Amino acid sequence: MPLTKSWPPQGAPKCPTSFHASKSSIFRRLFGANVATVRKEPWKRHRRVVGPAFSKKLYLSVWKESMQTFRDMVDVEGWDKKQSVTVSALGDLTAKFTINIIASCAFDFHSPWPGSIAKLRQGLSLRECLTVVVEGFPLCLLTPRWVYLLPIRALKRLDIAFNTTFSLLRAQIALRREKIASEEVTGGETQGKDAIFNSIVKANIDGGKFAFDEEEVIGNTFLMLFAGHETASRTLSAMLTLLALYGEEQDKVYQEIKRTLPGGRDPTFEDLESFIQTRKCIQETMRLYPPVTLLVREVIHDTQLNVTNKATDGASYSVALKKGARVVCNVVAIHRNPRHFPDPDAFKPSRWDDNDSDDSVGTDAFLGFGQGPRACIGRKFALAEMTCFVAMLLRDWRVEVDLAEGESPQQWQRRVMTDTASGLRAMGPLSVRFVTREAR
């Protein structure tokens, strides 16, 4: 029976029942099936395996690890001896931070700040390997094996990144299997640190209705490592840069940190709910620069969308979508649509003033973490690590950028934080300066 849906309804699409997450067969062929790429019954099975790991115990360990990693960073980089620190590529710093957190909290791949995760093989770090693999996978599908024997640097790098990533994952999976078999990992541990990795590997060992095959173990491990760091890193670097540009917004966040952490004490996980202003800034950053720019859905019933468009003087027209068609939601366009977000290009955390609850992501038009049953499972994980990082950093440091002569923050933002459909991916290195606060 055809369904009629207006597009968008009062807000943007909220995973209407006539749409399913679209399966990404290319991704699956190379990395293995995982919770983000499967659909229908297999998706329920994947979600059933990984879902319980996302518990309060995990978030507590994320917080603890974020504090420790932050302290290691300050220590190793020698920041505590400096009045001012220049970071020429903020994204590299935040990526190193977020990959350490996901590697440690989800997989127990520990490494101190300068440590082993930094450089794995031939100068490539785990993060570089993951990035090269994700960016290069379409090429891998097109090129036969022998091409990698040619002396082409980019292909060699891709080959090394693939081999390094997958041999690391296989080795870690084998180790974990042994650990579980030798009962070093008890049932109780599956609710806290390592919980994500334990659940994935145990689903393979235990078999039964919710079993994972080998390919699904690799697929989910890879997905969690990548999705769990890249998105949060991009959000953190963009947010800190925006706060540097908009001093009055940074000041509001600083005042909140001072109120929440009397006497400059360290933040705890219980403080998370109190960092309301910080959360608004995170949300506003993700609205302007969503790390996931496209959401792909498949139409499960013949559907008719009624579209009202200002460009056609508010006239309505219908778009017929056949069952099986792919629909691509352009998140950047929805987030910058003045119908949903007045003055859409402005960085205005106050637009989220009526949205104080941590469990809500506000209007349906906000798709930063997706919407509906396929919404991000790692949302709280990401909020915890980002909030902890920001609270620790801004408690002790002010973040600044250098504007060119006569340049406004908005002009700087347009020049450096490229305003294209590819969002954060199109940005060049974000250069900032951390200056110690007098009270420190």
* Annotated binding-site members: 376
Is the bond leading into 2 cis (omega within 30 degrees of zero)?
no
Binders of ligand HEM among residues 39 to 78 (CB under 6 A) are 47
Q: Does 283 bind ligand HEM (CB under 6 A)?
A: no
> In the set 35, 49, 245, 393, which binds ligand HEM (CB under 6 A)?
35
In the complex, the smallest distance separating the C-beta of residue 333 from ligand HEM, rounded to whole angstroms, is 15
- Read off φ and ψ for residue 6, nearest 5 degrees: -85, 150
The piece of 143-151, 186-194, 204-212, 231-239 that touches ligand HEM (CB under 6 A) is 231-239
Q: Report, in Å, the least distance between residue 223 CB and ligand HEM.
A: 6
292 binds ligand HEM (CB under 6 A): yes
Please report whether residue 224 would count as binding ligand HEM according to CB under 6 A.
yes
Binders of ligand HEM among 91-150, rule CB under 6 A? Answer: 102
- Contact between 397 and ligand HEM per CB under 6 A: no
How many CB atoms neighbour CB 199 within 10 A?
A: 22
CB of 327 to ligand HEM, least distance (A): 11
Angle among Cα 231, 234, 238 to the nearest 5 degrees reads 140
Question: Which position among 232, 245, 253, 392 is part of the footprint of ligand HEM (CB under 6 A)?
Answer: 232
In 3D, which of 310, 304, 342, 339 has the Cα closest to residue 323? 304
Q: Does 90 bind ligand HEM (CB under 6 A)?
A: no
| Residues 190 and 54 sit within 8 Å (Cβ to Cβ) | no
265, 283, 327: which is closest to 301 by C-alpha?
A: 327
Residues 6+ apart with CB under 8 A from 123: none
Order across the sheet with 432-436: list the strands: 84-87, 432-436, 397-400
Q: Does 423 interact with ligand HEM (rule: CB under 6 A)?
A: no
Quote the distance between the C-alpha of residue 243 and its chain's center. 19
71: CB partners within 8 A, 6+ apart: none
**Is residue 376 a contact point for ligand HEM (CB under 6 A)?**
yes
Contact stretch for ligand HEM (CB under 6 A) within 112-120, 186-194, 211-219, 284-292 = 284-292
* 104 closest CA partner among 172, 167, 51, 36: 172
The residue among 59 and 79 lying less far from ligand HEM, judged by its C-beta, is 59
291 lies in the site for ligand HEM, by CB under 6 A: yes
Binding-site residue set for heme: 376
Which parts of this chain interact with ligand HEM (CB under 6 A)? 21, 35-36, 47, 102, 223-224, 227-228, 231-232, 235, 286, 291-292, 295, 368-370, 374-378, 381-382
